[in-house]
């Protein structure tokens, strides 16, 4: 299909030019940083990789050899791992070790012969740094031993590339917002149209059927996306969806190699753990708005059910065959194909929540009159059958998680296995969730490289998009459905919508505080993305309600932001997600880097790839091309 560029749409042309400029600017700036990085910015030894530092171990004990053990503070109740064995040679370092820098670590020094602890030190090493560990004795005996870490060479500031990129994006956003404001002025629009299309302007001026005022017609095309002519579709929902999707794409492409853009090993949250639940949440919101609209138009529930079922099947098959590579295991084959995945979970979640909505929703929901006093549960009580089913599903998750007997594991085990829990349950990764997946799907058909093996050294396969976690994915989408009900029930009552969103955010946050005891690992049910624990759902839904409240306020209430650039990928979410997975390893989304351990080069590549998908979604939006399944 041939793509035709708009002849007179200054606002859209500005967005297009800004996006292209952004790609070039980020690329050039980050490449410049990359060239300097090898010299003075990071001062990285050639053999070190990202998230690593160099540690020289010096033994000043005259008669003792000792062992150095280490444990990451991120590794909860973990066994110490051997780092090095140091002799009592005084003239040079006894050993050189490579050490992890993602989180603070604890070093423990024990005598080799008696395994007696000599000293212990907690330290946060910085990436690409060069350090020395000095183990000294105040006397000839080893009773008074001191441990000290000395910085041999100050590490570079490896977060500088992402800070520079952040300010570049902020500058582009400010310029784009300022340009958009200026282009809404009639004087500027008319002047630009005369400059962009002088032939048409002269024809209008010189035509005896027209007048110089007819030149204003040119501005109509440029202004057709103004708020006065935008359809009833809520831009905030597509903006929220696009924001989640773009962060997801950036994270999947590598996130510049920064650890905080990767999934948490087990309990806790990173930026990467936020976006998928938000996408599920806004999918639930869209389900209510979409099905309510179609029922209002007279479509039968049975007809809509078959449409929902067919869409779910398509999503599942795309996830199973198109973007399923079962990472790092080679070409796709029936013997080890990964059955579950992101799109598979989305398809099952979409099916369950849509069917639940079709069974109990009202065909013609009536907005609450603005003069009517609304009681607190106005948006909950009429939908009690749906809430009852959700509570039953959640009860099922709790019973399976805490009461199911898993061979070799304690009941209710929520840990990662491996070296966690002091190595007592190395093969119990994920407890009941992992056991159900391995039992139902087969060990070869689940994810083989979970994030837990990075820190906890797990050896069992575990699928973060497994069967049991899908129950809580349904709960997450249902809470998004609740947001859709609020929007419909309080149509054109912005204050009520904002108050409800804020109330739900606080309510979900309180539940999370109770479940987790405001702790990463010590709560009743920790926040865990791998398990999709109920506390993970309540925490992320609290964030989602609050973020949706802000976006709704800025985009649909105050209209100070049109949602760009996130609005455009939000309108073509399936195409962008599938496309970024399929073309991940193709140019211009990926190319060979000069230094594969440079954050600047990784960040450049990942930001350019993500920006290209924003540009593609913008062009498709301008051409009114949307991939709907």
Question: Catalytic amino acids?
Answer: 263
Backbone angles phi and psi of 84, in degrees to 5: -165, 165
Q: How far apart are CA 391 and CA 198, in angstroms?
A: 65
Q: Is 460 helix (H, G, I), strand (E, B) or coil?
A: coil
Closest by CA position to 280, among listed 541, 558, 42: 541
Q: How far apart are CA 557 and CA 386, in angstroms?
A: 30
Per residue in 284-312, is it b (16+ CB within 10 Å) or e — as a string?
bbbbbbebbebbeeeeeeeebeeebeebb
Q: Locate 185 and state its tokens.
A: 């002025």
Q: Locate 331 and state its tokens.
A: 């070409």
Q: Is 95 helix (H, G, I), strand (E, B) or coil?
A: strand
Query: Alpha carbon 431 to chain centroid distance?
Result: 25
Q: Locate 181 and state its tokens.
A: 């404001």
HEC letters along 130-171: EEEEEEEECCCCCCCEEEEEEEEECCCCCCHHHHHHHHHHHH
| Cis before 507? omega within 30 | no
| Cis before 332? omega within 30 | no
């Amino acid at each position: 299909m041939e793509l035709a560029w708009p002849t007179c749409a200054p606002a859209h042309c500005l967005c297009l030019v800004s996006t292209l400029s952004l790609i070039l600017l980020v690329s050039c700036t980050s490449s410049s940083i990359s060239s300097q990085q090898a010299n003075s910015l990071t001062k990285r030894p050639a053999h070190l990789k990202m998230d690593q530092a160099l540690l020289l171990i010096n033994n000043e004990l005259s008669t003792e050899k000792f062992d150095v053990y280490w444990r990451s503070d991120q590794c909860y109740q973990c066994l110490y791992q051997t780092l090095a064995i140091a002799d009592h040679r005084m003239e040079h370092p006894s050993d050189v070790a490579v050490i992890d820098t993602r989180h603070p670590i604890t070093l423990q020094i024990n005598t080799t012969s008696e395994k007696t602890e000599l000293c212990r030190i907690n330290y946060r090493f910085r990436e690409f740094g060069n350090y020395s560990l000095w183990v000294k004795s105040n006397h000839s005996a080893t009773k008074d031993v001191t441990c000290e870490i000395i910085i041999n060479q100050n590490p570079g500031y490896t977060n500088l590339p992402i800070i520079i990129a952040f300010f570049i994006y902020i500058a582009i956003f400010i310029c784009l917002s300022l340009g958009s404001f200026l282009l809404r002025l009639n004087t500027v629009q008319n002047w630009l149209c005369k400059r962009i299309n002088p032939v048409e302007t002269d024809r209008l001026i010189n035509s005896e059927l027209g007048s110089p005022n007819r030149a204003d017609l040119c501005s109509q095309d440029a202004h057709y996306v103004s708020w006065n002519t935008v359809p009833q579709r809520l831009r905030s929902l597509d903006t929220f969806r696009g924001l989640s999707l773009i962060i997801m794409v950036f994270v999947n492409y590598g996130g510049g190699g920064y650890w905080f853009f990767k999934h948490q090993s087990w309990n806790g949250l990173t930026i990467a753990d936020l976006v998928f639940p938000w996408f599920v949440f806004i999918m639930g919101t869209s389900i209510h708005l979409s099905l309510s609209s179609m029922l209002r138009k007279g479509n039968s529930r049975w007809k809509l059910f078959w449409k929902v079922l067919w869409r779910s099947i398509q999503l599942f098959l795309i996830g199973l065959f198109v973007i399923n590579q079962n990472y790092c295991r080679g070409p796709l084959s029936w013997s080890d194909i990964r059955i579950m995945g992101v799109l598979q979970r989305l398809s099952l979640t979409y099916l369950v929540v849509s069917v639940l909505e079709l069974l109990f929703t009202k065909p013609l929901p009536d907005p609450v009159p603005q003069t009517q006093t609304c009681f607190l549960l106005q948006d909950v009580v009429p939908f009690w059958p749906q809430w009852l089913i959700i509570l039953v599903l959640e009860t099922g998750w709790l019973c399976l998680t805490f009461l199911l007997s898993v061979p070799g594991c304690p009941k209710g085990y929520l840990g990662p296995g491996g070296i966690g829990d002091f190595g007592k349950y190395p093969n119990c990764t994920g407890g009941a969730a992992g056991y159900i997946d391995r039992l139902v799907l087969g060990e070869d058909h689940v994810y083989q490289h979970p994030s837990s093996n990075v820190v906890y050294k797990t050896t069992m396969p575990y699928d973060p998009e497994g069967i049991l976690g899908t129950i809580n994915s349904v709960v997450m989408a249902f809470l998004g459905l609740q947001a859709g009900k609020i929007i419909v029930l309080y149509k054109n009552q912005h204050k009520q919508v904002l108050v409800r969103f804020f109330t739900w955010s606080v309510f979900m946050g309180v539940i999370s505080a109770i479940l987790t005891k405001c702790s990463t690992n010590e709560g009743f049910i920790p926040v865990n993305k791998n398990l999709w624990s109920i506390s993970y759902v309540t925490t992320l839904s609290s964030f989602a309600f609050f973020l949706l409240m802000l976006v709704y306020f800025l985009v649909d209430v105050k209209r100070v932001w049109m949602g760009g650039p996130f609005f455009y990928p939000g309108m073509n979410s399936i195409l962008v997600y599938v496309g970024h997975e399929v073309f991940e390893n193709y140019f211009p989304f990926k190319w060979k880097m000069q230094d594969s351990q440079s954050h600047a080069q990784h960040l450049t590549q990942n930001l350019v790839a993500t920006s290209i998908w924003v540009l593609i979604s913008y062009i498709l939006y301008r051409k009114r091309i949307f991939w709907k399944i």
